[in-house]
Amino acid sequence: MTAHAHPHHASVPAIDQRALRDAFGAFPSGVVAVAASVKGQLTGIAASSFTSVSIDPPLVSFSIATSSSTWPLLREAEHLGISVLADHHDAVCRQLAGPREERFDGLPFKVTGNGAVLLDEAVATYDCSLHEEVVAGDHVIVLLEVHDVGGGDGEHPLVFHRSAFAKLHRDDLDPARLDGRINGAEVDRGTRESDSATASRDDAEDAA
């Protein structure tokens, strides 16, 4: 697939930055800790722009402001740890956004042999290495290759919405997994559903 760049037309009126921030904030997201031990120093940030990118090869991404003073240090790590914050981690997120020397005070975490820092109580963890950086306006899109995944004690993720924290509520929603396509790909309905579908197909083949 060939990427196409679209030229910016100067005649298009500039969007009010406050209105744009508010519009961006209307989209809820999770929050992750991106952390590593770099030359023996714990370094990390909180990011609300984390997303999965690819299954094969396994890639994830997040965006970081070009003005960040932490990313130039963090990017030097051999491996980076991504920890999906749990819904009780609102204070942890605020701590990770605070003074650099206090970001890990009192937090339960482990450091892998490659220097990735992973929080113990995360919903999910990823041991990654830097794959590529793409400058995009006033941010850098960071692509990471995933080498290992795991989980912690957290069950539900922390939600970031309109510059505030929230929790998931599913009381009025259909609990069934999505059966269809999203992002242009079939939704993985899990091992149990896959095994059931395979068994049904095998039964049909036996009957034929």
Place of tokens 């920890």: 83
Sheet with strand 29-30: strands edge to edge: 29-30, 159-161, 164-166
Same domain, residue pair 129 and 188: no
Rounded to a whole number of angstroms, the CA Rg of the chain reads 20
Per-residue model confidence (pLDDT) at position 23: 85
pLDDT in tens, 105-144: 999 999 999 999 999 989 999 999 999 999 999 999 999 9
Does the pLDDT at position 208 exceed 50?
no
pLDDT tens figures, 66-86? 999 999 999 999 999 999 999
pLDDT one-digit tens code per residue, 158-200: 888 787 788 888 777 777 777 766 666 676 656 544 454 444 4
Residue 34 and residue 110 in one domain: yes
Handedness of CA 154, 160, 109, 139 (dihedral sign): positive
**What pLDDT does residue 126 have?**
97
For residue 187, give its domain range.
Answer: 176-208
- Both 146 and 192 in one domain: the answer is no
Q: Are residues 25 and 124 in the same domain?
A: yes
Q: What's the confidence (pLDDT) of residue 203?
A: 43
Whether residue 183 is found in the same domain as residue 115 = no
Report the percentage of the chain scoring pLDDT > 90.
Answer: 52
Residue 77 lies in a domain: yes
Same domain? For 30 and 117 the reply is yes
What's the pLDDT at 176?
Answer: 77
* Distance, CA of 93 to CA of 2 (rounded, Å): 38
What percentage of the chain exceeds 70 in pLDDT?
80
Better-predicted residue by pLDDT, 179 or 39: 39
Per-residue pLDDT averaged across 47-54, rounded? 94
Q: Three-state secondary structure along the chain?
A: CCCCCCCCCCCCCCCCHHHHHHHHHCCCEECEEEEEEECCEEEEEEECCCEEEECCCCEEEEEEECCCCCHHHHCCCCCEEEEECECCCHHHHHHHCCCHHHCCCCCCEEECCCCEEEECCCCEEEEEEEEEEEEECCEEEEEEEEEEEECCCCCCECEEECCEEECCCCCCCCCCCCCCEECCEECCCHHHHHHHHHHHHHHHHHHC
Q: Are residues 164 and 180 in the same domain?
A: no
**Residue 9 placed within a domain:** no
Model confidence at 47: pLDDT above 50: yes
Residue 169 shares a structural domain with residue 190: no
CATH number of the domain encompassing residue 155: 2.30.110.10
Nearest by Cα to 63 from 43, 84, 48: 48
Total number of domains constituting the chain: 2
Which pLDDT value is given to residue 28? 79
Question: Quick check: is 97 in a domain?
Answer: yes
Same domain, 162 and 145: yes
C-alpha separations of 173 from 74, 160, 163, 195 in Å: 39, 20, 24, 25
Amino acid identity, position 133: E
- For residue 60, the model assigns a pLDDT of 97
What is the predicted pLDDT for the residue at 164? 77
Residue range 133-157: mean pLDDT, rounded: 92
Residue 6 has pLDDT above 80, yes or no: no
Do 106 and 48 fall within a single domain?
A: yes
